[in-house]
Amino acid sequence: MGGRPVSPGRRFGSVAVLGGGPDGEREVSIRSATAIAQALRTADPALRVTLHIIDRLPAAGLSDIDAEALFPYLHGPYGEGGPLQDALAADGRPFVGSGPRAARLAMDKLATKLLAAGIGLSTPRAAVLNPRDAGPPVQTPVVVKPVHEGSTLGLRLCPTAEAYSAALGDIARQRQAGLSPERTYMVESMVPGREITVGVTGRPGQEQALPIIEIIPREGLYDFDAKYTRSDTRYVPGPSLPGDAAHRAQRAAVDLHRALGCRHVSRSDFIIDAAGTPWLLEINTTPGMTDHSLVPKAAAHAGVGMPALCLGLLGMAEPA
């Protein structure tokens, strides 16, 4: 899907970049927000860029932040799952990213899968984890993962029923210890194949898919460590995929972005099976922007560096 991933848009005199948040991806968010702020300063030295590290917003909301536009980059349920978007909508200023409804839908992996199936996309079978069940609700191998988290936090690969039982025991012990007792898990069939990711950028109605990136972890799953702490994961831009799999995956990413009502940027993850079918795993409305992150890598493969990418996204900022 051709075209330039980002193009000049509205010009602002000042922007506040928001990072942090109360969730497990706080440190990744700070890294993303810091990288965005630096990229904006590089792209436009006349732009006044301020970086704000926050947890939860105070009762006054965003009113104490002095900027024409807001560039929120909090990861996790609070920052990209609706609560922060409610505050951004109430504030009324232009901001980068999805609004409250799209944020909530995209953060809920099961809701996303239902919507994806409704528009004709393939997605692995899944069910809510019930610890009282005698065995997994779908045939092993399965993946157990939180319904409302990102960065593969809490993800467990279960090739056998015994491994699934061990995962249940681990989750039960964490809950007894008071670690994320409210977290809801899902059980998803594991589709064998190649893992890819597809970024999408653009204003509503003008979205375009970025080049595909294939993800090849050195071992095991592409988990949090493989994403952010290790340097042994291979990223292959523009991989050779069977048949028309590349076009189908890019089309699916754009279609899902639009169906959810996402704005400006998203990243969808797929498995490509041996027949070339893209199987949707999930979508992220606030994909990482660190030096390990996939949207900047994909944009770079399309000839767009981090400064131009971030300035282009800022130019799309609009009220909810």
Ordered by start, the domain boundaries in the chain are 14-97, 104-124+191-303, 126-189
Tell me: domain 104-124+191-303, CATH 1.20.1630.10, correct? Answer: no
- Return the pLDDT at 1: 55
- Spatial neighbors of 239 by CB under 8 A, at least 6 apart, are 194, 196, 212, 213, 214, 246
d(CA 173, CA 181): 10
Q: Are 148 and 77 in contact (CB under 8 A)?
A: yes
Q: Which CATH class is domain 14-97?
A: alpha beta
How confident is the model at residue 256, as a pLDDT?
A: 99
Query: What's the confidence (pLDDT) of residue 283?
Result: 97
Alpha-carbon distance of 260 to 281, in angstroms, equals 15
pLDDT at residue number 187: 96
Kindly give the parts of the chain with pLDDT less than 70. 1-8, 59, 150-152, 181, 219-231
Please check whether residue 130 is in contact with residue 168, taking contact to mean a CB–CB distance below 8 angstroms: no
| CATH class in words for 126-189 | alpha beta
What's the token pair of residue 250? 């890019």
* 184 close to 138: Cβ distance less than 8 angstroms: no
User: Which parts of the chain fold into alpha helices (H)?
Assistant: 26-43, 77-80, 83-91, 100-107, 109-118, 161-176, 224-228, 245-260, 294-301, 306-315
Looking at residue 101, its pLDDT comes to 98
- Nearest Cα to Cα of residue 28 among 273, 227, 310, 295: 227
* pTM score of the predicted model: 0.91
Interacting residues of 311 by C-beta distance below 8 A, sequence separation 6+: 6, 8, 39, 40, 43, 44
